[in-house]
Structure 1
């Protein structure tokens, strides 16, 4: 066990002691509240997922609350403490990263509160089920679309950059591998650079992309593994006057992507279905609360949306990706 894990475990046990939880015993058997602990509710992906959780929880007659961790492990643990102290019926957890989830799972297990993990994953711990996107296949599909477009332009000998989500997240690892496997299969071997997102902001990705364009002037493609940061890449490409000269592939989606796909500014994006994921996670939690044993892993497909197939995909995208928000 590494130092970080030890600290998380010690913190978890301190919280258990502080709130007076007896190991293995649910706090309030009649609780009618579901809590969603999210990395950052200000990011559209997590907001859409939260709406999916809420839609099922309220339909079942339960109260609902989303607790924002602000991408901080300490805040996430505090949110878990608050939820357990209230004796919620169950928790949907989207951890800040896979290494921070075990401390929350430990708290919930001691309290006898079931947890369903929705996205990101965990390095260890007890949980009902993990609901995840098929990140490998989604990123692989994105890579294949980008590779085909590069080959069509005769750019297969040029380099491609990657701006990745944290590789401490299992979903980030899967996206990187899926994309790289597609590039390798297509014979596109040169990588212009590899950067990991930390703040997940437009400004951060603007700088990453700007640096790649400067260091690798022959870069003809870039893969951004998150939605809002993709806007930063597009701004950097425009600032360098490289529009049409660098093909942009993305992951996830925000409403602005619709027009960007139509215009060709974004060639392809692998759209997870966060609203649907939130629904599946909450349905799975209610199965467990009803005494059933759901599958340990449930994969939700990623929609590979391109300029060409956008119109046919749009009805599904509006509901399961954007939660009917902003369109």
Structure 2
């Protein structure tokens, strides 16, 4: 995405965390390694940021990194995993649901190649998944919505259950909204993300607005990530319904979302993931394992932060 700043990408805290996780011995061992990073989601800003952070840290470690984008084709990830396993890379980093690429994981295991998740999901064949705590992020934004609308009204949810880090966010938000008997989930929408997600989210929100024309008929939009939230915002503004006070929340706090939140309109809150921290921590975790360390946990969480108009410009 062009024309955006790298505020979220450049967090010093994430870099400090990532650097602290690597030892001198593992860094030395890792030099010269060949690493494959495979994802179908490189069109998403968050994925772009932590892949770039991984590449930056890998360069410091002296690695050769091959980033493979299957452009939304999850099935193609399997064949690419099989390809790089046959080529004898030293490690594979995935950004995809492990449950959907089992044959690729089997190929890596057979070739004795360690696999790591970078905002992926858990699987016994994956050494570690480095990610944000999706449960906590979804709880924070869904509770924000529930409080802002006074525990009553109709809410539109944008979800993506095909990807574990996003699926858990929807599950948590579902639970929070069900805990408020006067909140009704009007629609649970899965947008097409092949173009990044904004355009289709806008189109789907436009249809929902048209079906619910009365002011106050929609109290909030909860989105599992920022792209649908931005699409919903565009639809609400295009329909001239921004004055109804429809509350919008997202997750990621990408630069475009931060700008919308700072403007003080309907998009009120998101949660900033430390994309640099995820990318750098993934690289350091790979180095630790290649250096012979046995990890104590197969999930490593990188801290997050709620973003509202009070800190959107930080």
Q: Is the 8 A contact 2:158 2:191 kept in 1?
A: yes
Question: 1:181 corresponds to which residue?
Answer: 175
Question: 1:207 corresponds to which residue?
Answer: 203
Q: Measured at CA, do residues 302 and 197 of structure 1 come closer, stay the same or move farther in structure 2, by a change above 3 Å?
A: farther
Q: What's the CA shift for 1:262?
A: 1.0
Q: Is the 8 A contact 2:117 2:130 kept in 1?
A: yes
Aligned-residue Cα RMSD (Å) equals 2.1
Q: What's the CA shift for 1:145?
A: 1.8
* C-alpha distance after superposition, 1:53-72 (max 9, x if no partner): 11221111111121102121
Residues 99-110 of structure 1: pairs in structure 2 closer than 5 A: 99-110=99-110
**Gaps in structure 2 of 5+ consecutive residues:** 1-29
Residues 2-81 of structure 1: pairs in structure 2 closer than 5 A: 32-81=33-82
Question: 2:116 corresponds to which residue?
Answer: 116
| TM, length-normalised to structure 1 | 0.78
Question: 1:301 corresponds to which residue?
Answer: 303
The CA distance in 1 between the partners of 2:100 and 2:178, in whole Å, is 32
Is 1:262 aligned to residue 262 of structure 2? yes
Q: What's the CA shift for 1:35?
A: 1.6
Question: 2:220 corresponds to which residue?
Answer: 221
Residues 239-254 of structure 1: pairs in structure 2 closer than 5 A: 239-245=238-244, 246-254=246-254
Q: Measured at CA, do residues 193 and 278 of structure 1 come closer, stay the same or move farther in structure 2, by a change above 3 Å?
A: same
Higher relative contact order (CA 8 A, sep 6+): 2
The CA distance in 2 between the partners of 1:304 and 1:103, in whole Å, is 38
Q: Is the 8 A contact 1:118 1:281 kept in 2?
A: yes
Q: Is the 8 A contact 2:45 2:254 kept in 1?
A: yes
Q: Is the 8 A contact 1:105 1:125 kept in 2?
A: no
Q: Is the 8 A contact 2:230 2:257 kept in 1?
A: no
Q: Is the 8 A contact 1:37 1:94 kept in 2?
A: yes
Q: What's the CA shift for 1:308?
A: 2.3
Residues 277-296 of structure 1: pairs in structure 2 closer than 5 A: 277-294=278-295, 295-296=297-298
- 2:54 partner SS: helix
How many residues of Structure 1 are paired with residues of Structure 2 in the alignment? 277
Q: What's the CA shift for 1:138?
A: 0.3
Q: Measured at CA, do residues 32 and 103 of structure 1 come closer, stay the same or move farther in structure 2, by a change above 3 Å?
A: same
- 1:267 partner SS: strand
The CA distance in 1 between the partners of 2:31 and 2:102, in whole Å, is 26
Please say which of residues 195-204 and 42-51 is displaced more in the overlay: 195-204
- 1:251 partner SS: coil
- 1:181 partner SS: helix
The CA distance in 2 between the partners of 1:302 and 1:188, in whole Å, is 30
Question: 1:7 corresponds to which residue?
Answer: none
**Gaps in structure 1 of 5+ consecutive residues:** 1-28, 315-327
The CA distance in 1 between the partners of 2:182 and 2:32, in whole Å, is 55
Question: 2:130 corresponds to which residue?
Answer: 131
| TM, length-normalised to structure 2 | 0.81
Question: 1:163 corresponds to which residue?
Answer: 158
